[in-house]
Amino acid sequence: MLRKLVPHLVYSYVTFVGWTTRTRVLRADIPRAVHKAGQRFIYAFWHQRQVFFTWSHRDAEASVLVSKSKDGEMIAKTMELSRIGAVRGSSSRGGAAAVREMVEILRSGRDVGITPDGPKGPPREVKEGALRVAQLSGMPIIPIANALSNRLEIAMAWDRFQVPLPFGRAVVAYGEPIRVAEGDDLAAKAAELKSAMDALTAEADRLAR
């Protein structure tokens, strides 16, 4: 019963946070330009900051990779309430099938989202999943970050997971698209993506203070 109730409580809480938070969006023209060119893309964001995206990207035509754990089931339900799809899998469980599913979703005309360091870390280290999806689909990765002036960081969590708090300021920042060609060195592309995501996160943090 509790696991059925939690997604509704989280959805209601995030809605309240969104209503009471002044949000600034940086470079929203970047994803619009990709769509205008007839392509979809892969959102890449750090696991630590995923909660606020269920507000800032409600009703987005996107599906996000979520682990097959019991906690992942609650996250998937919360996203469903937010009109965001879920792809179930991770680097340790169902990863290959999830990559194939995300490629099909992109080709069908929807975006996908991945936390490259999730679900268990190490924090802010890019795993190959997002790169493989980009390589196989031919679609770009768009790094994205958010920051809030009012937030709680869970010190015991592996990534110091952030819980947004109401009555503050938020910044959502998009970065330039990153493409992964067939012969590209994935380690080099992982370093490029990490650098872009870290820079966006630092920018968002600075502007949300």
pLDDT at 2 (0 to 100): 75
Q: 123: Cβ–Cβ under 8 A, 6 or more apart, which residues? A: 46, 47, 48, 117, 158, 159, 160
Which is nearest to 133 in space by CA: 207, 40, 27? 40
Report the chain (209 residues): mean pLDDT per 10 consecutive residues. Answer: 88 98 98 97 97 95 88 89 89 75 96 94 95 97 98 96 98 98 96 98 97
Q: Domains of the chain by range and CATH?
A: 2-164+171-208 (3.40.1130.10)
pLDDT at 92 (0 to 100): 56
Residue 204 tokens, joined: 């968002």
pLDDT at 60 (0 to 100): 92
pLDDT at 132 (0 to 100): 96
pLDDT at 67 (0 to 100): 84
Is the CB of residue 65 less than 8 Å from the CB of residue 90? Answer: yes
